[in-house]
């Protein structure tokens, strides 16, 4: 006859093994669902994912929300999208929180609700979601839902920029170049344009080219000016091609060779 302590140990082991078995099964189903999705076998992906999502897997809940939101492999269904995104958002998934916030902000696919939008976007921002921080900055800058407050907006812009949000980085560059809401500071403008440009932002690339060409906030460098104008032109930014051609024509032949080599190098690094 088993002793009481031995029985408890066996029960614990059985529960532990059952839990491990469930986790392994879910991990396998997650991967099988992902592979099915990549192959375009969307019905199979749903069969793998829905039970896992119903069991509380927030990543799969988010994936289902995106599928129904964008109509990726399923018929677009905003109610189902909100259902799954809400479940993931309630578990503190910042991507789900932000996507919900955007849906309620835009109001094109569901009824606009700016207070609910601000609630979800703030939660995502507090979870260090870069785009959500940028939205919070915009809320305060334009007085949407919250009282207009340029100081708070600036703090959110900095938070978003530190999280590599290119829109925030570009805005900070523009604000410091023109002294909008902050003292005019060309080196600071250069720093933020440079950060956004290196992430592929065409507007920032063109402005960076202009700063290099005119020696504003940095040393004058027509070679780098051409390179950044050229990258912006590659993204079909208006007037960037004209600026690139003008700058290139005024380079010495040896500098033209260097400029073209750098343009190819930077294109591989900084164009998305």
CATH code, domain carrying 192:
1.25.40.10
Place of tokens 């900084």: 270
Establish if 267 belongs to a structural domain: yes
Domain assignment of residue 184, yes or no:
yes
Contacting residues for 216 by C-beta, under 8 A, at least 6 apart: 177, 186, 189, 190, 210
**Residue 209 falls within a domain, yes or no?**
yes
Domain span at residue 170 reads 164-272
Consecutive H or E run containing 113: none
The answer to whether residue 265 sits within a structural domain is yes
Count of all residues that appear for the chain in the document? 272
Q: Is residue 237 part of a domain?
A: yes
Residue 174 lies in a domain: yes
State how far the Cα of 114 lies from the Cα of 122, in Å rounded to an integer. Answer: 12
Q: How many domains does the structure of the chain reveal?
A: 1
Please name the residue that has the structure tokens 């995104």. Answer: 85
Whether residue 264 lies inside any domain: the answer is yes
User: Could you tell me if residue 212 is inside a domain?
Assistant: yes
Q: What is the pLDDT along the chain (272 residues), one digit of tens a residue?
A: 434 555 555 555 454 434 434 443 456 888 998 899 889 888 899 999 999 999 999 999 999 999 999 998 899 999 999 999 999 999 999 999 999 999 999 999 999 999 999 999 999 999 999 999 999 999 999 998 999 999 999 999 999 999 999 999 999 999 999 999 999 999 999 999 999 999 999 999 999 999 999 999 999 999 999 999 999 999 999 899 999 999 999 999 999 999 999 999 999 999 97
């Amino acid at each position: 006859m088993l002793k009481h302590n031995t029985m408890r140990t066996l029960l614990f082991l059985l529960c532990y093994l059952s839990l491990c078995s469930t986790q392994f099964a879910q991990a396998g189903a997650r991967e099988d669902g992902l592979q099915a999705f990549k192959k375009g076998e969307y019905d199979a992906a749903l069969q793998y994912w829905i039970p896992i999502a119903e069991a509380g897997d927030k990543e799969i809940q988010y994936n289902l929300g995106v599928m129904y939101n964008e109509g990726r492999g399923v018929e677009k269904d905003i109610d189902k999208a909100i259902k799954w995104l809400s479940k993931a958002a309630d578990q503190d998934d910042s991507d789900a929180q932000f996507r919900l916030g955007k849906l309620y902000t835009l109001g094109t696919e569901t009824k606009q609700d700016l207070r609910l939008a601000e609630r979800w976007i703030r939660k995502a921002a507090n979870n260090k979601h870069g785009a959500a921080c940028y939205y919070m900055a915009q809320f305060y800058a334009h007085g949407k839902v919250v009282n207009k407050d340029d100081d708070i907006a600036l703090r959110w812009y900095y938070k978003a920029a530190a999280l590599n949000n290119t829109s925030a980085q570009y805005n900070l560059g523009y604000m410091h170049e023109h002294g909008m809401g902050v003292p005019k500071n060309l080196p600071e403008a250069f720093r933020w344009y440079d950060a956004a440009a290196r992430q592929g932002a065409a507007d920032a690339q063109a402005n960076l080219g202009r700063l290099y060409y005119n020696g504003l906030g940095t040393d004058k460098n027509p070679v780098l000016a051409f390179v950044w104008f050229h990258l912006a032109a590659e993204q079909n930014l208006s007037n960037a091609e004209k600026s690139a051609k003008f700058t290139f024509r005024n380079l010495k032949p040896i500098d033209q060779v260097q400029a073209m080599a750098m343009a190819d190098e930077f294109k591989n690094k900084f164009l998305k």
